[in-house]
């Protein structure tokens, strides 16, 4: 059973005995074909935000009271205020994302609330989009597409070097290419596998400070993809050596604006930066300056720092205004099959949580204590 609301008015609680036996789940983002997993269960009552915009905070605070489960996306801030408004019944927060920076994990640990998320499922889709962005940025696809859309092609006087950019693949006359990764987990490995077909010769990455050396893994990747090198490097070397740098690191205080003006000044003038990780890792103002002044060649962005702010990425945003910067609206996992499976997992996670069962995919935040 479900009840829907797209207004700021709270949905009145039902007082029947049947209602009291059902678990209330508040859904901030419609899960499409996965919604029947929730709405067709007699033991679950769904309160659903139905509007085609981000869930209104006031609406959520009004309707969360008494909920056992909560379905959110990366746009919804789950903090102490919201958990307090929910009350003691809240058992699980299920987010349709691999990121969880929008969830106050210290509060979750304190209240013993499980957190479900959707890693792995989106690895291939995001890796595909990362390579797409690298190609778009290196070959000035955004700039040339705008040229055609603005009806400038008919009057274009062709010249040998118009719209030229650095080539992603190696050639007999340009036989080496180095890709760098800030964040070298599942998605980065999937990106590397795709880039092997382009003849990439060197792979460098910046390891987490606390991570143990992965020499055996790196040797395996080097052999598997026929590379000259797979190796960890420090941040200055990552900046200086990368022909294409992929940002796939998690967000949070430890990585906030790690890619700043000082880092970007160390990169090659022919280099390209691709961000499929978290917008907060890259200082937008510094990147815009780097593009404008030619510190780097171009950028392909699926995420931007300001997207967390409603109305933050407009046509006047400094990166949107840069002709050699391709900006996409956070669509890295937007393959139909992938999003459907993410939605199903999100639903299964919240159902398991409200029933007191083990989540299919739960975030481990035990290190935060209780």
Q: Where in the chain is the domain with CATH 3.40.50.720?
A: 2-119+337-368, 123-327
CATH architecture of 2-119+337-368: 3-Layer(aba) Sandwich (3.40)
- In the CATH scheme, what is the code of domain 123-327? 3.40.50.720
Helical pair 186-195 and 123-138, crossing angle rounded to 10 deg: 50
Q: According to the model, what pLDDT value does residue 10 have?
A: 52
Lowest mean per-residue pLDDT among 6-10, 110-114, 217-221, 277-281: 6-10
pLDDT tens for each residue of 227-273? 999 999 999 999 999 999 999 998 889 999 999 999 999 999 999 99
What mean pLDDT is predicted for residues 197-222? 94
Concatenating the DSSP letter of every residue in 28-84 gives SS--GGGTHHHHT-TTEEEEEE-SSSPPPHHHHHHH-TT-SEEEE-TTS-B-HHHHH
**Cα–Cα distance between 169 and 178 in angstroms, integer?**
10
- What is the pLDDT at residue 18? 42
Q: Are 49 and 5 contacting, i.e. CB atoms less than 8 angstroms apart?
A: yes
Q: What is the pLDDT of residues 25-66, one digit of tens each?
A: 999 999 999 999 999 999 999 999 999 888 999 999 999 999
Mean pLDDT, residues 60-77 taken together: 96
pLDDT score of 6 = 57
The answer on pLDDT for 11 being more than 80 is no
- Among 189, 256, 330, 367, which one carries the catalytic annotation? 330
Is the pLDDT score of 144 beyond 50? yes
State yes or no: pLDDT of 297 exceeds 50: yes
pLDDT at 329 over 50: yes
- Is 189 in the active site? no
Q: What are phi and psi of 358, to 5 degrees?
A: -70, 135
Mean pLDDT of 74-103: 95
Q: Specify the 3-state DSSP secondary structure of 259.
A: strand
Edge-to-edge strands of the sheet including 298-301? 229-232, 202-206, 178-182, 244-247, 272-275, 298-301, 325-327
The mean pLDDT of the chain is 93
């Amino acid at each position: 059973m479900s009840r829907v609301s797209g207004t700021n008015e709270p949905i009145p609680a039902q007082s029947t005995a049947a209602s009291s036996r059902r678990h209330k789940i508040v859904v901030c983002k419609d899960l499409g074909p996965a919604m029947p997993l929730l709405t067709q269960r007699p033991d679950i009552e769904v309160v659903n935000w139905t509007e085609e915009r981000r869930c209104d905070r006031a609406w959520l605070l009004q309707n969360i009271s008494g909920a056992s489960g909560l379905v959110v996306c990366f746009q919804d801030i789950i903090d102490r205020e919201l958990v307090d408004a929910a009350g003691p019944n809240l058992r699980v927060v299920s987010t349709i994302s691999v990121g969880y920076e929008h969830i106050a994990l210290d509060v979750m640990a304190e209240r013993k609330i499980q957190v479900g998320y959707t890693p792995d499922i989106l690895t291939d889709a995001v890796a595909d989009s990362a390579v797409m962005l690298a190609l778009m940025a290196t070959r000035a696809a955004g700039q040339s597409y705008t040229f055609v859309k603005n009806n400038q092609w008919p009057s274009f006087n062709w010249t040998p070097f118009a719209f030229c950019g650095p080539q992603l693949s190696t050639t007999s006359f340009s036989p080496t290419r180095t890709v760098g990764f800030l964040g070298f987990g599942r998605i980065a490995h999937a990106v590397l596998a795709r880039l092997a077909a382009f003849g990439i010769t060197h792979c460098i990455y910046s390891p987490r400070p606390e991570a143990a050396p992965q020499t055996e893994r790196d040797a395996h990747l080097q052999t598997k993809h026929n590379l000259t090198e797979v190796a960890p490097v420090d941040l200055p070397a990552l900046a200086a050596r990368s022909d294409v740098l992929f940002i796939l690191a998690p967000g949070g205080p430890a990585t906030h604006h790690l890619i700043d003006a000082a880092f970007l000044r160390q990169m090659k003038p022919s280099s390209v930066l691709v961000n499929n990780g978290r917008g907060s890792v890259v200082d937008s103002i510094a990147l815009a300056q780097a593009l404008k002044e030619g510190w780097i060649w171009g950028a392909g962005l699926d995420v931007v720092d300001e997207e967390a702010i409603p109305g933050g990425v407009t046509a006047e945003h400094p990166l949107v205004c840069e002709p050699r910067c391709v900006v996409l609206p956070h669509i890295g996992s937007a393959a139909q099959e992938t999003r459907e499976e993410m939605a199903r997992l999100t639903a299964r996670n919240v159902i398991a949580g409200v029933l007191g069962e083990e989540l299919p995919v739960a975030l481990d935040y035990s290190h935060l204590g209780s």
